[in-house]
Amino acid sequence: MMSIGQLRSRFDPLTGAIAGAPVTRRRLSDLRGCFADSAAYEATLAAGDPLLYSVASVEPAKGEGDLHYGVGLLMPGRVGAEYFMTKGHLHSWRQAAEIYIGLTGEGVLLLEDEASGESRLVPLRPHHAVYVPGHTAHRTMNTGAVPLTYLGVYPAKAGHDYGTIAEKNFHCVVVERDGRPTMVERKTLT
Ligand code: PA5
Ligand code: MN
């Protein structure tokens, strides 16, 4: 049996911190190529290199049936009309699905089916769960005015494939239009 420290963890829904868990931090400069409006990206970066998000991860075990989880903290803000976002990824083990649970703030998940390219925008709010199916690229945007935090739970063997996104990118981006998050084709902004 695992120790009690492996069986439970305490997270702060406001800061996204999990006691004792390693944290990955991504700044605007780490997201080169993610935002469609490259002029707005360079202008925003020239004014500073803000922290966009952090993820605290818990990996209790690495066996076939095990689970990993993480709490993300994504800051509010925009690059031009595009909301601050995560890098986005597919799972290296493509079949792996994931559950996102909103903790604080308001956001959306952009989902893109790898085979068909079909895209969907799914609201991510406190006490809402979003199911991300396997074979689906996923990226999170903060569409509100305060930090967005969420819990993500996924198979231990899922793995994060960032390379495919770096190469092909998502077909769509999420912009503020008339005060609302709106999904538009990337090519309309480039
Ligand atoms: O595993 C997940 O899908 C999340 O915990 C993400 O890692 C988190 O949202 C950060 O996004 P990304 O891994 O695309 O940088
Ligand atoms: Mn994932």
Distances (CA, A) of 68 to 32, 60, 109, 158, 183: 27, 7, 19, 9, 30
Q: Report pLDDT digits (tens) over 125-147.
A: 999 999 999 999 999 999 999 99
CA 21–ligand 1 middle distance (angstroms): 15
In this structure, are strands 119-124 and 107-113 parallel, antiparallel, or unpaired?
antiparallel
User: How sure is the predictor about 190, in pLDDT bands with cuts at 50, 70 and 90?
Assistant: confident
Whether 86 lines ligand 1, by a CB cut-off of 6 Å, is yes
* Residue 74 Cα: closest atom of ligand 1: 9
Ligand sitting nearest the alpha carbon of 85: 1
pTM of the model: 0.97
pLDDT in tens, 133-189: 999 999 999 999 999 999 999 999 999 999 999 999 999 999 999 999 999 999 998
Residues constituting the chain: 190
Ligand 1 atom closest to 154 (CA): 1
